[in-house]
Copies of this chain bind each other. A is one copy, B any other.
Amino acid sequence: MASVDRSLVANLPMFAGLAPAEQDELLREARSIRYPKGSAVFDQGAKADHFYLLLHGHLRVEKVTLQGQQSVVRYVSGGELFGVAQAMNLTHYPATAVAAVDSIALAWPSSSWNRLLTKYPSLASSALQTVGSRLQDTQARVLEMSNEQVEQRVAHALLRLAKQAGRKVDAGVEIDFPISRQDVAEMTGTTLHTVSRILSAWEQQGLVEGGRQRIVLRDANRLHVLAEGDEGALNRKPNP
């Protein structure tokens, strides 16, 4: 197997604190794997035998309940650590990770986690930050589901997606991977029907531009207003 070039990862937060020699050493323990669109990196409930760093592409992380309802937990983008079940002392993956587009990831054996952790304390920091910011996001979602109604939640979800995986196009900002109404519904706790209605209405108002598995935000500002239920937002600075 071809070894991974240091330059691909050197400026990721996870590797930032390490000397080049250390980076090489860490990379030597990993192998790089290609995941074609639609394939699973790991399945919910499977033994957590690896942890990963996504080099290229986008993954959809989904979870099914005991009763069989499916939800989209989040999307993983390039540069992110994922599948770190071992770090949280889980023996099995709590969710399934599916490639939303053709993707490439580095895989380390879970068994080396503890050794690597003691050898590279910066790995602990970056894992903590990864998990920590995921916790922040998830708690934000709980607040949204508690306090907001569907239209606001969908607006929030799209804005988050655009921030995380938005690609500038002339019409606005396009979400950089195929995403269906059903996917958005599973992220926001609603149905594809309601999402479809909302997007149709927004399209008429020039807020978004739709398509099959495709969403472009045309007016992020007005979406922000909708998301916050806040009529004054347009007059304020972008990041208060």
Chain A residues engaging chain B, CB cutoff 8 angstroms: 63, 65-67, 69, 71, 73, 87-90, 94, 114, 117-118, 121, 124-125, 127-129, 131-136, 138-139, 141-143, 145-147, 186, 188-189, 228-230
User: What is the CB-to-nearest-CB distance from A132 to chain B, in angstroms, rounded to a whole number?
Assistant: 3
Say how many copies of this protein the assembly contains.
2
Q: Which residue of B lies closest to A87 (CB)?
A: B128
A135-B84 Cα distance, complex, nearest whole Å: 12
Is B88 within 8 A of A128, CB to CB? yes
Q: Which residues of B contact A129 (CB under 8 A)?
A: 88-89
Q: Are A69 and B135 in contact (CB under 8 A)?
A: no
Whole-angstrom distance between the Cβ of A118 and the nearest chain B Cβ: 5
Residues on B with C-beta less than 8 A from A114 are 125
* Cα–Cα distance between A88 and B126 once the two chains are bound (Å): 9
Contact B147 A69 (CB under 8 A): yes
Chain A interface, >50% SS class: helix
Residues of B within 8 Å of A89, CB to CB, are 129, 132-133
A132 to B90, CA, bound (A): 9
Distance A71 CA – B141 CA, assembled complex (angstroms): 12
In the complex, which of the residues B69, B121, B133 contacts A88, with contact meaning CB atoms closer than 8 Å? B133
A47 to B142, CA, bound (A): 24
Query: CB < 8 Å: which of B65, B73, B88, B128 contacts A147?
Result: B65
- Considering the chains assembled together, what is the distance between the CA atoms of A190 and B58 in angstroms? 34
Chain B residue at minimum C-beta to C-beta distance from A119: B121
CA distance A8 to B90 in the complex (A): 27
Known: A124-B124, A128-B131. A229 touches B67 (CB 8 A): yes
Partner of A128, one of B71, B94, B127, B145: B127
| Complex contact B132–A63 (CB within 8 A) | no
Q: Which of B63, B124, B125, B146 has a CB less than 8 Å from the CB of A69?
A: B146
Closest 8 CB pairs of A and B: A88-B132, A146-B189, A124-B124, A145-B145, A69-B147, A138-B138, A118-B121, A135-B135
- Taking the closest CB of chain B, its distance from the CB of A60, in whole angstroms, is 15
In Å, the complex CA distance between A136 and B85 comes to: 10
- Distance of A139 Cα from B121 Cα, bound (Å): 27
B66 touches A228 (CB 8 A): yes
Q: Which single member of B73, B139, B188, B228 contacts A73 (CB below 8 Å)?
A: B139
